[in-house]
Structure 1
Amino acid sequence: MVKAISIGLLGLGTVGSGVVKIIENHQDKLMHQIGCPILIKKVLVKDIEKERRVSIDENLLTLNPSEILEDPEIDAVIEVMGGIELTREYLLKALANNKHIVTANKDLMALHGPELLAAASRNNCDLFYEASVAGGIPILRGLVDGLSSDRITKLMGIVNGTTNFILTKMSKNGSAYEEVLREAQELGFAEADPSSDVSGLDAARKMAILATLGFSMNIDLADVKVRGITEISEEDLKYSKKLGYTMKLIGLASRDGDKVEVSVQPALLPEGHPLAGVNNEYNAVYVYGEAVGETMFYGPGAGSLPTATAIVSDLVAVLKNLRLGVNGKSAVSPQFSKLLKKPAEIFAKYFIRIHVKDEVGVLANITLLFAEHGVGFDKILQLPLKDKDYSEIVLVTHTASLRDYECILQKLESYEMVKGIESTYRVEGENIL
């Protein structure tokens, strides 16, 4: 009989349980792919007595990480325990002991990816992390393998299911933010503490990973400009819809020449844009390549089995390499040095909603201010407010540099006729329609 390949599992939560199910239920498929059985030898847990979502022999469970990290019979380690610093220590020890790694840990890879990949290369080990971005969608493999011959110029996507669920419900049902957040928590789409999601941090970590791979340069989390969804109002969504847009939390990475921009922020998309139709907890990433043109990767961005599918697919790649004796050969160092765009080099259209005095000439003065910076208007709405002394002006600009737009905002705030800038958002995706 062909000798089984032994693996260790760090963590047995929602995703870890999914991994166990797939390995147990798909053994025939996995055998066909790699030519030998896969054996789960040990699983690290916090509590052996805890009730599990999956049936598993208690003899496989351990509280001691060394039983996995230092066992010479374990060939590969799957990390689904989460966390950063302790997990980093575990994985560095596993790599030092020549164990291949599959992880779903976006936080870890965004912060310590280069260090871990360098350690993997030194020890001739594989380190794969497809499941760290967009759950079951094979976006990382698509970039690294499927589009490896192309030059990626832009990545734009919805990479956080929690915020997409919230914005979908707010837009379609007119529900308030707090109400939808509670519903998302009750359905399991949002954590008890949703701050990482709603602040944009979760999406920013994923965009750092995507930009690093897509542009072949080391993009750090600190390079990603981040804005969450907590300030989005029902009025913003109402006017967006009235002007023909849909609001989404968009991760954006673009490259012009040698310079790049990476951000996460609420943005308005034309209702006909493919990303505008991605609703609820689903994720999608739009990829622009010089040769391929435009492609979109779409699917469930989280969940036990979708994420576990990506993990086990990475495991299959590791074990195929193991059978061929080519582990540690697939990693490619970044090709380019990192050069970030300055505000004068970032161009976009913008939505802005302002409250102004209801007087003759106010709109003309605002128009003049924008014109002084070479910025025109694509769309304009002017509506009365309950306070009869003021009115509301909603504008969508033509393309402007971020430097000019920020300068305009500063001047608007100083104008006596302007009561306040209520909101402003980037407008994206109109060039494909």
Structure 2
Amino acid sequence: MVSCLDTYLLLQSQYKFQEFLLQEQDANKLEGSDLIINDGLSLERNYILVKTFMIGGPTERTLPSRTLEEDKSGNLKAPALFSSYPIPREYQPNIAGRSAMKQENDLSKFLGSGRPEKKPNVWMEKCRDLFYKMAASKPDQAKGNLLQQVLEQTVAQQCHIQEEAIFHLFDFSGTDSTIKNFKLLPLQLLGIKTAVRYGIHLKVINTSSESTENLTQLVKLTGCFLRQQQRSLKSSLRFLEGSYPGFDWFTATIFLIFNGHAERAWNFLHKFSSLGASGYLWMARLHASLLPITLLSSGIPPLFSSTAHNIELVLQIELPLVTSAFTMSGYTPSQICFHWLSQCFWNYLDWLDIVHYVTVCVCLGVDYQVYLCVAILRHLQENILSHMQTQDLIIYLKEESIRNFHVLDHIKFMKELETKYRKIVLSDMMNISKP
């Protein structure tokens, strides 16, 4: 259940299950000692406590074992148990900080040239070409400030391209008091705390209190901004009333990409909201807003109705064995891909790969969201077939991080898929605003 971050936030904000589990660990100590008894329940509690406290991809956190394991000498080895937060250091691998060294390449020179292009389409074509070449040949250079520049400048250009900017760019009509009075749910406040903790662990932001304040302000600002575009619907689906019911993982992702700089994050999000891509990358963007009334009243987001549909379409042709494995497991690729995408791959990919996912979709086209998921499922094909046979495919895909997968390692495969399917996939995805 807690593999879904929104579910974790809901359970923790409403029922405080972490505190309960910590109390149970404390009650399971040997009398007169601080040692916690190792049994099946204490190990499972330990696993859940670490997994829910610590956000991170496959190399960014170490999850404890759920069973007692033997070491090389044959002795049983128990994981480190605890009865109060924070979690032990052994579950928090040290992550290298940001590199201050700038690497010049053709893309950075192009972005830094400052020569305004009269035709945004021409500029975008050049940028896409240079970005793809760098991603394919020098993926280690795709990081930090360069990706921030790519995101900011590509969105600024795409705002002037009719095919990309399919939504009206609304001005924010609220005031400081509107933002201040915007009520955040306990779930969202906990989400902010969780995101800031992740950012500090990644060393992309520094201070907890300032970052928490900035992200809170940004979440309130985006919440107010999106609310002014929402329609009032008469529907039996109660979650369509009011603001987006989950936490805005995309806003938190952008906040961390810009190193906790709320103003830059807001400027990006505001412009990005006019692009068709925002309807897919930013789950909260089209909540009860700007969609044809039939799609809106169904409560089905475009991420499911379009992206997930196209993933299955491409998958049937490219990876028929994977499609069959899902069918035989009574589960669909749509469900797991929707799950991954709706929380921006948090807990499934390492941070740099999450940044690459966002940048690739913004720069090369939102249809890369489809191709990326197909690439991931291709990467996992052997494991998918294996877990289909052991009848635990759903548990495997939900609980396990996507190991040894790096977005830019598969950029050539995604480019091949673009060549084959873009006409169908992209046109379908960019038609969301039409009835």
Q: Which has the higher helix share?
A: 2
TM-score (norm 1): 0.25
TM-score (norm 2): 0.25
Larger Rg: 1
Q: Which has the higher strand share?
A: 1
